[in-house]
Structure 1
């Protein structure tokens, strides 16, 4: 039997779809988190929205921590609980908003694995580009590394999103935010080779305007793009096995190492917050420390 809290979650889901314009991934994550909250609340006898208070929320989050949930998961579940209690308060189902009293677990930000600039050049310069699949794969990796776009953004590109005259690509990012990203000459050349001699070989009447195609002629799927990246890196060998997101990390790191300012990198990557981009300053700092440690006679650093 559905309790009042479960009904409130369904209402919250409708609110997210209609008013918040959140991504399907975020909505699934939030609703999954809140179902875990409802299950915990039912276990302690709370089935009504009015029973949600800060003590219950803190106990639930402590229980999640005891289960070994990561800091990132705890941070997201805290955000989901806050959004939910704010919604309940606005609907008049809670007199006060207990989510305002929750602290935010600090996320532990591991430094992402990245390619060195030499490895990136070796990967792209030594790739086997025979046949339409080879031309496609080179264009995919050149664009991922050359622009730092997300794999979902790359797979969503249409041919008309490219402006070869201006050397840019129009990218549709998270939350339907659109941005214009510069495309360097190597990536532009690889894309033109793919469009000229590769795409026509794979295209079918159902291909539509998709820039990148799978072997059956449909729009390239992010899962297939991930497989392409892993396989092509493995072919070259002797470098980190990165995902498309690793190429995005590499692009951002190399931009900063080349002197780009943080705001420009934020715009290129499509980060809503500069705080998200700042992790790459730590990556560059670690690289500088490594160079200093290896090259300077007094280059030892504290751990």
Structure 2
């Protein structure tokens, strides 16, 4: 049986609850299919553990069983990040069970989890980010529609810090050139407005005026960015592009679109933007997620100090 996959021998009562929970996640919470699969895999693992403890329905879940399930993850060699994620999935699940009357109390409310190791994301320096887009722009001087598209995507990713999924989901009407902002549909289908600067605006103008009309094909609809065949571009193509362009910048770390998101956040904070503003721009649900970028800027400051100060 694959890790996290429901056991065909799971009691019928648990199977029904799992199906109801899937509908809740997909319909009521409107989560992406990927997120739904991740939650279900973790909850299925928990229910299988409960079954092995002798329970036949979710009414048998208790804090002791939840803790033994997490302990099993740790002894099985799961990373701290994975165990922390599964603990969160269990808490969300038991809260739903209690809220919907399937169990009398939320048995997972006090379930703890190990702190995941916090690693500093790789980011570009300001000069590396400039070299990235300038090199792409130089290659686009031949007037090719693909070249103009690539420059526009790189400029927009760095200017706004939007996710690659948000980028490929953009439509032409989502770009407001009068205010130089883009309307983005983020996680949980939450909409936000993100500003961009003059270089991104100029790249978008060139793409929309001279690149997209030559590349777009029937079936692309209102997609802002299209692939080589003229349909809405997919995330894999954007990731390939970013990695390829980054490789052309001497000394730059190998990062993808999410690395450009990290870079944008870091440069905003280094430029004096406050955490709340950066949180809103990036679409983070929690300020704690944004705060990790302050560790990046502090780390950079420490390295600069050690290199430059005579008594460091």
Q: What is the DSSP-based 3-state SS (H/G/I as helix, E as strand, rest coil) of the residue aligned with 2:83?
A: helix
Q: Work out the CA distance in 2 between the residues paired with 1:67 and 1:50.
A: 26
Is contact 2:63–2:108 with CA below 8 Å preserved after alignment?
yes
The equivalent residue for 1:111 is 120
Q: Tell me if 1:48 matches 2:57.
A: yes
Matches of residues 186-197 of structure 1 in structure 2 within 5 Å?
186-197=199-210
- 1:72 deviates by 2.4
Q: Work out the CA distance in 2 between the residues paired with 1:152 and 1:92.
A: 36
Is contact 1:167–1:188 with CA below 8 Å preserved after alignment?
yes
The equivalent residue for 2:188 is 175
Q: Work out the CA distance in 1 between the residues paired with 2:248 and 2:147.
A: 13
Q: TM-score, normalised by structure 1?
A: 0.94
Q: Work out the CA distance in 2 between the residues paired with 1:282 and 1:105.
A: 20
Q: What is the DSSP-based 3-state SS (H/G/I as helix, E as strand, rest coil) of the residue aligned with 2:170?
A: coil
Q: What is the DSSP-based 3-state SS (H/G/I as helix, E as strand, rest coil) of the residue aligned with 2:182?
A: strand
Q: Tell me if 1:270 matches 2:283.
A: yes
Is contact 2:180–2:196 with CA below 8 Å preserved after alignment?
yes
Q: Work out the CA distance in 1 between the residues paired with 2:218 and 2:15.
A: 45
- 1:35 deviates by 1.2
Task: Say which is worse superposed, 279-288 or 87-96, in terms of deviation.
Answer: 87-96
| Structure 1: 4+ residue segments shifted above 6 A | none
CA-to-aligned-CA distance 1:98-156 (integer Å, 9 cap, x gap): 10120132222210000000111111112211411111111111110011000000000
Matches of residues 43-82 of structure 1 in structure 2 within 5 Å?
43-82=52-91
RMSD of aligned Cα (Å) = 1.4
Q: 2:95 aligns with which of 86, 94, 103?
A: 86
The equivalent residue for 1:164 is 177
Gaps of 5+ in 2: 1-8
Q: Work out the CA distance in 2 between the residues paired with 1:118 and 1:90.
A: 52
Q: Work out the CA distance in 2 between the residues paired with 1:195 and 1:89.
A: 51
Aligned length in residues: 299
Matches of residues 243-254 of structure 1 in structure 2 within 5 Å?
243-254=256-267
Q: Work out the CA distance in 1 between the residues paired with 2:211 and 2:249.
A: 22
Is contact 1:38–1:47 with CA below 8 Å preserved after alignment?
no
Q: TM-score, normalised by structure 2?
A: 0.92
Q: Work out the CA distance in 1 between the residues paired with 2:59 and 2:209.
A: 63
